[in-house]
Amino acid sequence: AAVRSASAFSIRSLHHVSAPQQISLLRHFSTAAAADSDTLINNRISRAPVPSSLDARTLSDNLDLVLSHLRSRRASDEALDAAKTISTLNLDRVALIKERDEALQQRNELSAKVGMLMRESKGEETEEIIGIKAEATTVGETAAGAE
């Protein structure tokens, strides 16, 4: 199948060119279109590098592409706003997951430190251990809040 680039040619328009030359031209335009991600096809950005399924991550990573395709299909303003909202919410979700993971990692490190100090003090809770436990609890609550 031929990839249409900004020059908009097709195999039918190459009927006077020999088969090897057609293949050469098709390869040239295919690689040129793939190399330039901003190539317009039918007044919209090419989606060549994007997977065929549309999920929240794909939408967030390729918002300009999705909006371009929606506009080319004459989508309503509500549909465009919905795509932007989904992208924003997904970015917020990713930030919360990252915050949660960092808090859980910190809590695990503090818990390991408490265990080490408890072994050294032979089970007695010192002021240092109580302080670390309180900090681990606070960090754990932060992780729970991010979920």
Do 116 and 128 touch, CB atoms closer than 8 A?
no
Mean pLDDT of the 67-95 span: 91
Q: Would you call 62 exposed, middle or buried from its count of C-beta atoms within 10 A (0-12, 13-18, 19+)?
A: buried
The confidence score (pLDDT) of residue 39 equals: 66
Mean pLDDT of the 20-44 span: 52
The model's pTM: 0.57
Question: Percentage of the chain surpassing pLDDT 90?
Answer: 20
Give the closest residue to 8 by CA, choosing from 40, 44, 35. 40
- What's the rounded Cα separation, in Å, for the pair 34 and 5? 9
Helix (H) / strand (E) containing 40: strand 40-41
Mean pLDDT of the 69-83 span: 90
pLDDT, greater one: 24 or 8: 24
Can you read off the two tokens belonging to residue 42? 């039918």
The confidence score (pLDDT) of residue 42 equals: 63
φ, ψ for residue 84, nearest 5 deg: -65, -40
Q: Is the pLDDT score of 55 beyond 60?
A: yes
